[in-house]
A = this chain, B = another copy of it.
Amino acid sequence: MYTIGKLSKNTGVTVRTLDYYDEIGLINPSSKTDGGHRLYNEDDVMRLERVLALKYMGFSLEQIKDIVNSSTSTWQQSIQQQLEMIRREQERLKMLEQALTGVSFSIEFEGEINWSIIFNIIQLYQQDVEDIFQQYKDYLNNDEMRKIIEMDAQMSKEDMKEWMEAISDIKNNLEIDPGSEKAQHLVKRWLNQVEKMFGNDEELLGDMWNALQNLKEGIVFYPMDKDVIHFIERVFLTKEELK
């Protein structure tokens, strides 16, 4: 049995907050002293733990009240739920890290800033990964999305650097003849990176290429932009002709 002060000390939650939670009926202490002082038992503490976890996940107290009241889920279930949310948050942070690393490299290599990725970073700072990938839903199925997110998360700083350099090289040579040796070389280098990242899942590659052509540049294939994509396309077409 904990008084409100002891509970506050143990959890770091202020007395006023517990007071408020009692007031709105979120956590009513299971018993009281004769004088009216609140006494919290272990079930109450359990409830508080869940409330704080859910709050951390961004739910409103009103929503939390619904969740903790309605779901008859056991501890195991709610822990699993929390674990899933934490993993999603980690995914988001991983993407943020990638994006920020990308910006850093782009400033370093190109001396300029890719605005579309800045916009994506801003979005990532306030929204869920799922929401941001929503725009890709028309071109990629769920399975492909998963693969791409995972691939993105597993990309190391070095991979990122090579990827950036390969594309940066293309960007700096957009005007050269698509049939030239150099053009072929640049695209070959790019292809190597693609293969390194995505393996040789032909279907995934196809869908991604399709998505690339239809979408404005975004976080996933950063820093590929329209110019780069069109250059690669022209080189491919020239090759086809040669055959």
Contacts and interface: CB of A to CB of B under 8 A. Distances in A.
Interface residues of A, number: 43
A80 interface: yes
A52 B126 contact: yes
Contact of A12 (B83, B86, B103, B126): B126
A122 B79 contact: no
Total copies of this chain within the assembly: 2
Contacts of A65: none
Contacts of A108: 76
Interface of chain A, main secondary structure = helix
Interface in A1-37: 10-13
Contacts of A93: 86, 89-90, 93
Interface stretch (A40-48, A186-194, A205-213, A223-231): A40-48
A95 to B, nearest CB: 10
A76 B107 contact: yes
B103 A97 contact: no
Interface stretch (A111-119, A158-166, A169-177): A111-119
Contacts of A79: 100, 103-104, 107
Nearest to A52: B125
